[in-house]
Amino acid sequence: MKARVHITLKNGVLDPQGKAIQHALTALDFGGVDDVRQGKYIELDLAETDREKALASVEDMCKKLLSNTVIENYVIEIE
Amino acid sequence: MKARVHITLKNGVLDPQGKAIQHALTALDFGGVDDVRQGKYIELDLAETDREKALASVEDMCKKLLSNTVIENYVIEIE
């Protein structure tokens, strides 16, 4: 199964990387960019074929390694 | 409007960050992880209200700043 994980900074957490992109876009004359937030996107190929088990396993991975749950949210899609 | 951009390495391009995650997951006893690819996820808040114009603008941003089109693909969603 394939799992897609989006890891984004929680609201209110400063995103210097996003701000840097925003400034660079403004410097390149792209106007009207009100906000930019950058997150991570991870694709996992899993040997597991059971959807529920795969989801539980990826959730565990997010908590233990992939995300910092103090400042980040994660969203998992399984297909 | 909100734009979501996924930037991923093209197939065949080595992904050391993904490999590092895969090894770390194996070290943490998560078995059955066949492959991991890491990409970037960028959310943009745009002042533009026209869908077509927003898409064209973000596509231009991807080509000029956000992605390295030699080794990366980008997918844009506008909502």
- Whole-complex ipTM: 0.90
Which residues of A fall within a CB distance of 8 Å from B61?
A: 25, 28, 30
pLDDT band at B49 (very low <50, low <70, confident <90, very high): very high
Per CB-CB distance under 8 Å, the chain B contacts of A46 are 32-34
Contact A40 B37 (CB under 8 A): no
Give the CATH H-level superfamily of domain A2-78. Answer: Phosphoribosylformylglycinamidine synthase subunit PurS (3.30.1280.10)
Q: Show residues of chain B in contact with A56, CB under 8 Å.
A: none
Count how many pairs of residues, chain A against chain B, have C-beta atoms within 8 Å: 96
Query: For residue B79, with 0-12 CB atoms within 10 Å meaning exposed, 13-18 middle and 19 or more buried, which class applies?
Result: exposed
Dump strand ranges (E) for chain B. Answer: 2-9, 33-46, 72-78
pLDDT per position as a tens digit, B17-34: 999 999 999 999 998 999
This prediction has a pTM of: 0.91
* Cα–Cα distance for residue pair A38/A60, rounded to 1 Å: 23
Q: Residue ranges per domain, chain B? A: 2-78
